[in-house]
Structure 1
Amino acid sequence: MTTPSESADRHPLWAIHRHLAERHVWTDLTHAFHPGQPHFPAFPDEERSQVFDVGQDGFTVHRHTIVGQWGTHVDPPSHFVEGARTLDEVPVEQMILPLVVLDISHRVAGDPDAVPTLDDVAAWEQRNGSVPAGSFVALRTDWWKRWPDAAAMENRDADGVSHAPGWSREVVEHLVAAGVTALGHEQTDTDAGRSTSAGDYDLELLWLQNDRWQIELMARLDEVPEVGALIVASWPKPLGGSGFPARVVAIHPAEPEPADPPRWA
């Protein structure tokens, strides 16, 4: 009889899984959703009811009434673009990607309206090499730490203008040109709060109309290295779906990776 270790060594994918399980950290980048949580102001709150109870019926079932863009969620191109790809048309090959973390949290701490610049991208690339095509680029702002305080997430001034970070046009255009597959962020919207307060969602439109998808309201990007991690993003498969809550996980080394990663026959 072979041991689990010997069985894994005979099957390359099992060996990779054992390596990931033994030598890597798995960080959940997902908020647990619930009624009353922060959300886009125009959306209704979640309604949740219990249909069956394990004490009375032998099993528990809940009914959830939510919009697709609820909690940590995925936006496919069809969210903003008529006739574009829907959730069921995003290939599963795109659900595991190299993860790039672009960190502007130090600037956001002093200026909640901060957005990334091409200098931030250039600095990342000077340290790590070019942002790879086919990757997932996440914007770290540490805004997730305000969850689940809706007022803190919106951060509105006396005039009702939201002061929250977002992406910038120059960086989004750069990521499109670089062939990045998906992006993500910790705040509610792709566009910064001052833009969304004026009804301007041009950066989200720019990204989605280029046949990309995104994850919004991510968490714990401060626990993930800026380079070298994988992201696993998964969601249900509603036919024609324009958005849905997602479960997002980063897999990253517990210790620095060796120069030559392990190979499996």
Structure 2
Amino acid sequence: MYYIRSVIVCLALQALYVCVHGNGDIIDLTYTFDENTLFFPGHEGFVQEILQRGPYGPLWLESNHIETGEHTGTHMDAPAHLREGELRKGQLRIEVLPVSHLVGPGVKVDISSKATIDPDAQVEINDLMAWEEENGRIPDGAIVMMFSGWGKFYPNRTAYFGSDRNDSYTDENNVSIVHFPGFSTPAAEWLVENRNIVGVGVDTASLDFGQSTNFSSHVVFFEQNIFGLENVANLDKMPTTGSTIYALPMKIKDGSGAPVRIIAIVDDDVINGVSATACNYFLTCFAFFIVFLYKMLF
């Protein structure tokens, strides 16, 4: 009898605790930088040299030297990356991006179904319209993420790029040899003309799909000082809506890009895409039921 009472009390307390404290999760959207870190063909990879790892007088000391390209691994493209630069054209470099733009509502547009069939699939206007029909208008200040499911291939270069070459993404005829999803140019234009977003991201190596050689979606976004996030990790864990993204790049003077740590914090009012208000209402009712049952039995 004592055991049954204890179990009932514990269940009630647990339900009430969840109601009070919420269930917000923190999702890491960043790949680890190491010898397996991927980079766009023709760019530079990540190299780490151990300088010290051991006793240092009375202390233990670890110190490393790293070398990396700006556009390696999980990174941010500054708008100046494919534009003439802030002094002449107004396109921003990394260190002058407004800090307020580095935090925003997370929007995940899922094109994984068609990407499974077509490695050159793109986010199209109808994908954005379908998202809004289901979830409401894309909020101001949003960071819009394309989820293609391509993270399942990382860090296998051949599967991720559709090519194992790391020196060039085109052949002798300037035809792209890489394949992966991205944003279509019409979708990019629709976003900048109709919605007030600050950034876009992809779980692939480029905002443009792999077969692009003019990177027109990049240009459309960058002309409006909208930054890009590439090689974003764990987008399968990010909810479609109801999260806040924090994308904090290394602050490099005159940087065209930078390694970035990205996290998504799932809002307390959304838990796995379900309203936390509804969840908490259920848990509250459940707690009262447990208390009622306790009184009836004992």
TM-score, normalised with respect to structure 1: 0.83
Offset of residue 258 of structure 1: 4.5
Count of aligned pairs between the two proteins: 241
Identity over aligned residues, as a percent? 27
The answer to whether the 8 Å contact 1:80/1:209 transfers is no
The equivalent of 1:32 in structure 2 is 32
2:75 paired residue number: 73
Which has the larger strand fraction? 2
Q: Are residue 138 (structure 1) and residue 145 (structure 2) matched?
A: yes
> Compared with structure 1, are the counterparts of its residues 247 and 175 closer, same or farther at alpha carbon in structure 2 (3 Å cutoff)?
same
Deviation at 1:45, TM superposition (A): 2.6
CA distance in 2, matches of 1:36, 1:142: 19
The letter of the residue matching 1:123 is A
Deviation, structure 1 residue 121: 1.1
2:241 and 2:44 mapped to 1: Cα distance?
Answer: 37
Alignment of 1:12-91 (within 5 A): 22-56=22-56, 58-81=60-83, 82-83=85-86, 84-91=91-98
The 1-side partners of 2:62 and 2:137 are apart by: 49
Correspondence for 2:242 among 228, 245, 249: 228
- Provide the C-alpha distance between the structure 2 equivalents of 1:20 and 1:30, rounded to a whole number of angstroms: 30
Give the match for residue 168 of structure 2. Answer: none
Map of 1:13 onto structure 2: none
- Helix, strand or coil for the counterpart of 1:193? coil
Q: Which runs of 5+ in 2 are unaligned?
A: 1-18, 165-170, 279-298
Does structure 1 retain, via aligned residues, the 8 Å contact 2:47–2:66?
yes
User: Residues 215-255 of structure 1, C-alpha deviation per residue, up to 9 Å, x if partnerless?
Assistant: 10001111111111111111221222221111111111435
Amino acid at match of 1:54: G
- What residue number does 1:201 align with? 215
Partner of 1:149: 156
Measured after TM superposition, the shift of residue 182 of structure 1 is 0.3
Q: Render the CA deviation track for 1:133-189: whole Å, top value 9, x for unaligned.
A: 2110000001011001011111149x8722211110111011111121100001101
Which of the pair has more CA radius of gyration?
A: 2
CA contact (8 A) 2:38 2:72 kept: no
What is the CA-CA distance between 1:29 and the residue it aligns to?
Answer: 0.7
Corresponding residue for 1:254? 271
Q: 1:49 to 1:71 in 2, by over 3 A?
A: same
In the alignment, is the contact (CA less than 8 A) between 2:44 and 2:72 conserved in 1?
no
Of stretches 138-147 and 201-210 in structure 1, the one that deviates more from structure 2 is 201-210
Name the structure 2 match of 1:168. 184
CA-CA distance at 1:24 after TM superposition = 0.6
Letter in 2 for 1:205: V
Return the letter of the residue paired with 2:185: R
Contact 1:112 1:165 in 2 (8 A): yes
Structure 1 segments of 4 or more deviating over 4 A? 19-22
Q: Cα distance, 1:56 vs. partner?
A: 4.2
Structure-2 separation of matches of 1:106 and 1:49: 41
Q: Which runs of 5+ in 1 are unaligned?
A: 1-18, 261-265
SS at match of 2:66: strand
